[in-house]
Each structure stands twice: as C-alpha cells, then as structure tokens.
Amino acid sequence: MSQPPARPKIYHITHGKNLAGILASNCIWSDAEMHRRGGPAAAIGIPEIKPRRLTELAVPCHPGTKVGELSGRRDQGCQAS
C-alpha cells in the first residue's frame, strides 16, 4: 500500500445554499451530524446512497467508523454541539 500524500487534496460538492452554514461553522459536517441537525439547507446527491454511508461503508483506517460519520475542518476535527 502506498503512503498518502503529505498534503492531500480533499473535495466536497455542495449546493450554494449550504455555503453560508459551512463558512459560519468552519466545518463540513458528516452526514450523520447533518441528519441530527435537521439536514442541510439544500440536499444534493442520490438519496438512496445516504443510508448506506451511515450503516454499511466502513472506514478501514478508523475501525468502528462509517463513511457517513466523517466530518472535516482545516485545522482540527469538527466538534458537534
């Protein structure tokens, strides 16, 4: 297995209506956290995929975590309130 790049580029696709919330929180919340918060201002993507990301797709390098539970922030992990 190859080593990850020192400064990986990570992309996130969202609707323009979600930008204000992303910038205000300085965070891209996970699907799981967005669900707890009542959802995004504007959802995009295929609705049938979201449940699978929360219940089936594991993150191999982080045992016990599903893809839909990952959040991101440039300087540190997001902190749900």
pLDDT score of 81: 52
Q: Is residue 5 part of a domain?
A: no
Determine the pLDDT at residue 5: 84
- The total domain count for the chain is 1
Mean pLDDT of the chain: 85
Beta bridge partners of 72: 28
Share of the chain above pLDDT 70, in %: 86
Global model pTM greater than 0.75: no
Is residue 81 a contact partner of residue 55, using CB atoms and an 8 Å limit?
no
Q: Which tokens sit at 42?
A: 């504007």
Q: Is residue 21 included in any domain, yes or no?
A: no
Residue 53: give the domain boundaries.
Answer: 28-69
The closest of 73, 9, 18 to 44, measured between CA atoms, is: 18
